[in-house]
Structure 1
Amino acid sequence: MLSPEKIKRINELANKSKTIGLSTEEAKEQTKLRKEYLETFRSSMRDTIENVRVIDPDGNDVTPEKVKDAHNNKYLN
């Protein structure tokens, strides 16, 4: 999870970019922060998907094999 300070800074830079523009240094900072945010988001989403179980209305586990394999590989290694 990204710290609240970093999220606040991302938003500040985005707003400044839309209004008066960013300096070269600020643009580099924005790129770095966005990359870090996306990595964190993707990791969190991957963890969520790997821990999901799909159950049909009859109570059968119909989780795709790819998801089951990813879950097993993560916790068996």
Structure 2
Amino acid sequence: MRSALAEAVAAVGGQVLFAQEMSTPERVVSQQIVSYWLKRAGIPAELVLRAELKTGVSRFRLRPDVFCVPEDLISSNAA
């Protein structure tokens, strides 16, 4: 999860530019919070789709705990 976030940050050119890309009029994202996400928390779920669209890093890699296909659906599709 954190390696995917690091890849997304690198894709836009660093923490400052990633923060600018993630910011919205309703929610300003700083470089400091991006650094915190990288070290400890991971990206918030509400920003994952924005990050995917801006960086090309899959939502499934950025937050596999939120964007996953349940095991019961995987096995029922395989049958």
TM range (shorter): under 0.3
Say which one has the larger Rg. 1
